[in-house]
Amino acid sequence: MGCLPTFLRGQGKHTHRERRLDKTMFASSIHQLACGSRFGALGWALGRVSVNATAVVACTDVRLKQYRGFHGSCKRQHKDDADVHAKVAEYLKEDEKDLPKELMGSHPDLEDVLKGNKEWVKKMNDLDPEFFKRLGGKQHPRYLYIGCSDARVDPLQLMGLPQGSLFVHRNVGNVVSNTDLNLLTVVDFAVNFLKVPHIVVCGHYDCGAVRGSIAQPQDGGLGLVENWLTRIRDVARLHRHELMAIEDPEAKHRRLVELNVTEQSLNLYKIGTVQKARLDSYQNKDTQMALPRVHGMVFDASVGILHKLPMDFKKEIEENRAIYDMYKSPK
């Protein structure tokens, strides 16, 4: 793949009018380069912008904005090309004059984020000068954490773990669905490549997804979200007798949060990737135990406590082997 600064050599000799015409080509080339590069996410983002060919020109300014991040990465790789990078910076600066204000990247909230980041970097460097050297190395997380997207539930913070300890997947209601390609990919990568020995499924009390899942909306409810919440409604159906016996609405909610974690943990076992890894590690002379192990937990944000659910995962699996096993057990 060609280097972006190389592509931009000589941009300085163009007139401003030519630059305006160049912008479309410029952005399209960025797109091609990015799509063929390891910057897959950027390629995807730019690709989305270019789906409609007629929108290419209109979206050029947006693309230029997105390009700035790409330029930063490229700059790190080609430290010696100072003159080229200076030209790129100049080129982008001139183009930004024409950008709408909201695309200029300045927003009070974002300023706070960037300021907070700098303060955090300073604090961590003061505490441990080797911290970022370690963090910049390879990841070796011990846990795959599957939790709710709720803003109050910060996995690293509530588990008291340092950066790099968790591989994380979050969604509304900490659902483990075997039709969710995102989740399946995360699980596959964590189990087969990162070899995490533990998977934590973590729910939390006062969960909006769980509350919504037993609501009886008469007007279509939450719309699209309702399709997702059906998976938690299924949990309520499976355990309806226990739940119906609980009169206090808050106690019923808290119990459903726990039952949801239990069922989503069991859903992990229904995924072939997990079953195969557990069988292989059980037969492996070095490990001789079924890994990864699955743990169900619930976080109580009102007091900050993380509870481990008294769930016998092994027993649950044994009882369901006849239904869900995809691989022949050695016994």
Q: For binding to Zn ion (CB under 5 A), which residues are involved?
A: 148, 150, 207, 209
Nearer CB in complex with Zn ion: 33/172 = 172
Quote the CA–CA distance of 61 and 51 in Å, as a whole number: 16
Residue 309 CB, nearest approach to Zn ion (Å)? 16
Catalytic residue among 31, 74, 150, 254: 150
Annotated active-site residue 202? The verdict is: no
Catalytic residue among 14, 134, 152, 321: 152
State yes or no: 148 annotated in a binding site: yes
Annotated active-site residue 207? The verdict is: yes
State yes or no: 204 annotated in a binding site: yes
Q: At 106, which amino acid appears?
A: S
Q: Which helix (H) or strand (E) holds 75?
A: helix 60-77
Cis peptide leading into 155, omega within 30 of 0?
no
Residue 161 CB, nearest approach to Zn ion (Å)? 20
For the chain, strand residue ranges (E) read: 143-148, 166-171, 198-204, 293-300, 305-308
Residue 180 corresponds to which tokens in the numbers above?
């969710």
List of residues 6+ apart from 16 with CB closer than 8 A? 94
CA 183, 188, 193, 196 dihedral sign is positive
Catalytic residue among 63, 71, 169, 204: 204
List of residues 6+ apart from 101 with CB closer than 8 A? none
Closest CA to 108 of 99, 100, 116, 119: 116
Nearer CB in complex with Zn ion: 176/209 = 209
Dihedral over alpha carbons 10, 16, 17, 18 (to 10 degrees): 10
Residue 172 CB, nearest approach to Zn ion (Å)? 7
Residue 209 CB, nearest approach to Zn ion (Å)? 5
Quote the CA–CA distance of 57 and 98 in Å, as a whole number: 14
Nearer CB in complex with Zn ion: 148/297 = 148
Closest CA to 255 of 306, 210, 216: 210
Quote the CA–CA distance of 283 and 202 in Å, as a whole number: 29
| Contact between residue 237 and residue 180 where contact means Cβ atoms under 8 Å apart | no
Residue 207 CB, nearest approach to Zn ion (Å)? 3
Nearer CB in complex with Zn ion: 65/170 = 170
Nearer CB in complex with Zn ion: 148/311 = 148
Catalytic residue among 202, 207, 231, 254: 207
State yes or no: 154 annotated in a binding site: no
Annotated active-site residue 35? The verdict is: no
Catalytic residue among 148, 169, 202, 253: 148
Running DSSP on this structure, what letter comes out for residue 264? H
Binding residues: 148, 150, 204, 207
Q: What residues are labeled active site?
A: 148, 150, 152, 204, 207
